[in-house]
Amino acid sequence: MDMAIHPATFSELMELEQHGPDTWVGLSPDYAWGRIYGGQVIAQGLKAAFATVDEDFVPHSVHAYFIRGGTLVEPVRYEVDRLRNGRSFCTRSVVARQSGGAILNLSCSFHVAEKDAEIQTARMPLAPDPEDCRPREGDHMNVIMDRRVLDSPPGAGRSMGWVRVRDTLVGDPRLHMCGLAFTSDAVQFDAARSLHPIQAPREQYQERFMGASLDHAMWFHRPMRADEWHLYDWDCHGLNGSRGMTVGNLFASDGRHVATIAQEVLLRERRSN
């Protein structure tokens, strides 16, 4: 693959190249902060897993561990292990690797759609329309993903924001589920940051803290389009040992509960020795 060509749209990001049995390789955009965005490796890993399951199967959950930060100067290799093929469920394991070793371990469970009771208890919170929210200045994610994050005042323990993939996607439901996975690592940090006793200005945050996504779980509930606005509503359940536990709901603009996400984040104060 030509590393001189960085994907500029989400559709380009999902163009994985097969390298042998159950192995695919993907490229990264040229992110301004210098390392791979976590939602990217989840989305590309899910796309690789999709290639090994029948069309009747759709993912109902993914569970990921971010092992180390990925570099932008080489491709990511996705190795898929077909753990189980059942009649109604199948399971895949995906390891994302670069020359320095594994950067992500992803488990995906797929389910054949069943008709049964459908009840929604989660309710979409009140929020301004996304078009009435300004994008944050210097938000480098706007190349592929458009997000409008609402302010989280100190002590709130909560963050909200509208997110969508910028380019118009084709009707393939699998591509939209990968798009939703891509956006799912984008809004939760503010929920944890707002609880910390040290409230550093945003422009000073990287100097005061080391932050990273540690692990990530996502449950898909209903069909959606990743190129339409969705609202993330995150709560931080507490801070402990430089880690923050965040749990969020994702809603379509009409109030449908589309997904549930849980992520533990690293929030470590930088201390001089």
The answer to whether residue 238 sits within a structural domain is: yes
Catalytic residue among 28, 159, 188, 213: 213
The CATH number of the domain where 187 resides is what?
2.40.160.210
For residue range 72-95, what is the model confidence (pLDDT) as tens digits?
Answer: 999 999 999 999 999 999 999 999
Over residues 168-224, the pLDDT tens digits come to 998 899 999 999 999 999 889 899 999 988 887 766 767 777 888 999 999 999 999
**H or E segment and range at residue 220:** strand 209-220
185 is known as an active-site residue: yes
Active site residue 213: yes
Asked whether residue 156 is assigned to any structural domain, the reply reads yes
- The whole-number pLDDT of residue 139 equals 64
Residue 121: inside a domain: no
CA nearest 63: which of 181, 209, 159?
181
Selecting among 152, 159, 194, 263, the annotated active-site residue is 263
Residue 67 lies in a domain: yes
The total domain count for the chain is 1
3 state SS of 172: coil
Residues 196, 39: Cα–Cα separation, whole Å: 24
8 A C-beta contact, residue 230 and residue 162: yes
Query: Which of the following is catalytic: 185, 190, 227, 233?
Result: 185
The boundaries of the domain holding residue 150 are 10-113+130-269
The predicted structure's pLDDT at residue 2? 58
235 has catalytic annotation:
no
Is residue 2 situated within a structural domain? no
Give the pLDDT band of residue 1 (cuts 50, 70, 90): low
Contact 130, 147 (CB under 8 A): no
Does the pTM of the predicted model rise above 0.95?
Answer: no
- Percent of the chain with pLDDT strictly greater than 70: 94
